[in-house]
Amino acid sequence: MSKVVTVESVDMPDQPEVSVLLAVHNGARYLESAVRSIMAQTLRNIEIVVVDDCSTDESPDILAQLAAEDSRIRLLRTPRNLRLAGALNYGLDHVRAPYVARMDDDDYSFPERLAIQKAYLDAHPDITLLGSSIEWMDAEGGFMRRSIRSRDSEAVRWSARFSLNVSHPTFMFRRHFPDGTMLQYDTQLHLSEDYELICRLLSAGGKVVCLPDVLLRYRFHSQSVSRKKFRAQVAESRDVGEAFQKRELPADIVEAIGPLRACFFGLAEVTPERLKGCFSGARAMLAHDIATNPSRARWYRRQTTQFVVWALERGGASTRQILLGFLRYAPDLFPALVLRRMETKRLLPKIFDSEPSV
């Protein structure tokens, strides 16, 4: 156990305002730090529901000691190893608050996180799920970079065609879908259950927002899923992304962006023919988006160019190949690409910023 940090004693509330949900499987290395960051939240009227998914390391002992310090901690243990989606569903069956906040056993929530997210959901009853921007840290807790993601519901919906642009451990959501059904994860998925949940929620009429506030430190280490199982995670995401595209876009656009799917989800090699197809599909999608919502034209152009770069990079294209592709197939979009790069590096005056306010 690491050094104990004193936390003001708080009894288990009769009706918590937020249930914080963690699923743990052999997470002893960082577990105490993660849980204590929730124990120290400025929003005190919470419960901390920790699902031990059949850990075989010191996790149960760590959790027992923490629970002895703070009565707001509720410990559950699954009857068998259910993996993440199953363990989260197990916990969701036991939470008591109207809002549920996710937390992973290797991350760190800043003290104001829950208070800020709850206040936003209180003030915006049309929003079903809320995320936040993050700081990345390494295995030892050293600062790596900040990822500022200001995303209104339309921006999240657009991004969901190919990726989850809201970090799972920053989720705070209402317990029910807009139609009144209980929110649950798809247990058939083991690496993209968060992405599928967002897509299903959006398709059901829910709204998702990501705050620009940095409320969580996300730990990137050798055992991170995004690092250890990247290819498997991308492959599992393909069916989720394609199904969402079919629900969101006309059939001809879904077909046109096939080369983009092949590179982004299938990590397919960028051949000359596929390079041309990626730009052709991106242009078709962009034209559709602008026709649908002209007021977002600047944002669509910049986001589309950035996504094309990501897809081509996943397909193994070099920087030179990508730049030549823009010059040959989309020279009119090259300025949008440059502006997007400047925007992400915070080099543009605010007046030229295309990011939506939330």
Query: What single DSSP character describes residue 176?
Result: B
- Quick check: helix, strand or coil at residue 46? strand
Could you tell me which of 339, 330, 335, 332 has the C-alpha nearest to residue 308? 330
CA distance 328 to 305: 14
Q: Name residue 306's amino acid.
A: Q
* Cβ contact 71:12 at 8 Å: yes
Give CA separation, 76 vs 60, 84, 91, 94, 195, in Å: 10, 14, 8, 9, 25
Query: Would you write out the chain's pLDDT as a tens digit for each of its 358 residues?
Result: 333 333 444 566 679 999 999 999 999 999 999 999 999 999 999 999 999 999 999 999 999 999 999 999 999 999 999 999 999 999 999 999 999 999 999 999 999 999 999 999 999 999 999 999 999 999 999 999 999 888 999 999 999 999 998 999 999 999 988 888 889 999 999 999 999 999 999 999 999 999 999 999 999 876 666 666 888 899 999 999 999 999 999 999 999 999 999 999 999 999 999 999 999 999 999 999 999 999 999 999 999 999 999 999 999 999 999 999 999 999 999 999 999 999 988 888 888 888 888 8
Is the torsion defined by CA of 188, 256, 152, 303 positive or negative? Answer: positive
- State residue 225's pLDDT score: 63
The DSSP call for residue 58 is: S
Predicted pLDDT of residue 227: 65
- Distance (Å, whole) CA 34 – CA 54: 19
Say if CB 288 and CB 249 are below 8 A apart.
yes
The C-alpha atoms of residue 104 and residue 169 are separated, in whole angstroms, by: 6
Residue 275: predicted pLDDT: 98
The alpha-helical segments, DSSP class H, found in the chain are 28-39, 59-69, 83-92, 113-123, 153-159, 193-203, 225-228, 230-248, 251-256, 258-264, 272-292, 297-314, 319-329, 334-344
Using alpha carbons only, what angle is made at residue 102 by residues 239 and 130, rounded to the nearest 5 degrees?
75
Write down the domain spans for the chain. Answer: 18-228, 249-352
Quick one: fold of 18-228? Spore Coat Polysaccharide Biosynthesis Protein SpsA; Chain A (3.90.550)
Distance CA 346, CA 54 (A): 44
Task: Check the CA dihedral 259-261-264-268 and report its sign.
Answer: negative
